[in-house]
Amino acid sequence: MHAMRLNSAGGPLVWTELPDPRPAEGEIRVRVLACGVCRTDLHVLDGELPEAKYPIIPGHEIVGRVDAIGPGVGDLAVGDRVGIPWLGHTCGACPYCRMERENLCDHPLFTGCSRDGGYATAAVADARFAFPLGEAGADVDLAPLLCAGLIGWRSLRMAGEGRALGLYGFGAAAHIIAQVATWQGRSVFAFARAGDERSRQFALELGAAWAGSSEEMPPRPLDAAIIFAPVGGLVPAALRAVRKGGRVVCAGIHMSDIPSFPYRILWEERELLSVANLTREDGVEFLRLAPQVGIRSRTTPYPLHRANQALEDLRQGKFEGAAVLVP
Ligand SMILES: [Zn+2]
Ligand SMILES: [Zn+2]
């Protein structure tokens, strides 16, 4: 197999030939068909995540076809198309696993961070954490659903039922969640970087009721806001934009420091919370919902060996929607 492997924090990724991995008990091996590029991959590259191990093959939005099966795998067969997400393994025994909050497991493995992921021609996964994808939809279009979609969906649920929803940072996750939220009958207020006219237009095309810069106040107070951009300065901005009792959800795994802010913008029962990882239930629920919504992913495909370029383009905000690597 070939992989774009990250040998140490700071990068770059290196095209590497490796022996084909053999699936152990409970594992599957897939031939990778497509793998999405997520902002978290930049945090792995930059050495910002304490849970990351190096060397590592990044990539946790894997669409693949099962081509080998380890002992003890009952419900997947060679030839099945599956999705492999960020949550790669949980212990099943810690207090969080036992209270059905496996996203907070004390001993997890994360695909493309603490176990090898999908920037490769092949990948091995714990079969219990792979989602059957069926045959509907193109590989490249499905890839971004596996993190941008899934964690976006968990964030949307945590944002509550409010009708006026703000999305800060209009990248891969927001472009999917904006479609889900409008389908649910909510009004989306999109916030992009000041001067980012392209993202603003993109949000309006996807049905946003309003799109402006993150330095602006929305035309009406928001019921809730989700922050997808890794920018701590957006936390006070979003708190100012939500109504009394409103909620601000931080959806990313890493964020720059949050500047101090006056207590009065949190006062009146505004809530600030974070979303960590996903549960398998989130995945099953979202992947069932996605075809009903008719989500259209906006993707920019790159050949696998161009992964460094894809990451750099993501960092620079050079494309709308999501980059996807194709082996
Ligand atoms: Zn656990
Ligand atoms: Zn991700």
| Confidence category of residue 226, pLDDT binned at 50, 70, 90 | very high
The pLDDT tens digits of the residues spanning 254-288 come to 999 999 999 999 999 999 999 999 999 999 999 99
pTM of the model: 0.95
98 CA to centre of ligand 1 in angstroms = 7
Percent of the chain with pLDDT over 70: 100
The pLDDT tens digits of the residues spanning 37-76 come to 999 999 999 999 999 999 999 999 999 999 999 999 989 9
87 CA to centre of ligand 1 in angstroms = 11
Instruction: Determine the pLDDT at residue 204.
Output: 97
Q: In 105-200, which ranges are E strands?
A: 109-110, 122-126, 131-132, 164-168, 187-192
Cα separation, 4 vs 324, whole angstroms: 14
31 CA to centre of ligand 1 in angstroms = 28
218 CA to centre of ligand 2 in angstroms = 28
17 CA to centre of ligand 1 in angstroms = 33
269 CA to centre of ligand 2 in angstroms = 30
**Average pLDDT score over the chain:** 97
Q: Over range 171-177, report the average pLDDT.
A: 96
Instruction: Determine the pLDDT at residue 227.
Output: 98
Instruction: Determine the pLDDT at residue 180.
Output: 98
Instruction: Determine the pLDDT at residue 219.
Output: 98
Give strand pairing partners of 69.
Answer: 28
Ligand index nearest the alpha carbon of residue 58: 2
Instruction: Determine the pLDDT at residue 8.
Output: 97
60 CA to centre of ligand 2 in angstroms = 6
Instruction: Determine the pLDDT at residue 164.
Output: 98
Which residue reads 């995945």 in tokens? 283
Query: Are the C-beta atoms of residues 120 and 59 closer than 8 Å to each other?
Result: yes
Which of the 8 DSSP states describes residue 4? E
Cα separation, 223 vs 143, whole angstroms: 30
Q: Which long-range contacts (CB under 8 A, 24 or more apart) does 259-267 make?
A: 259/232, 259/233, 259/235, 261/235, 261/236, 265/236, 265/239, 265/240, 266/239
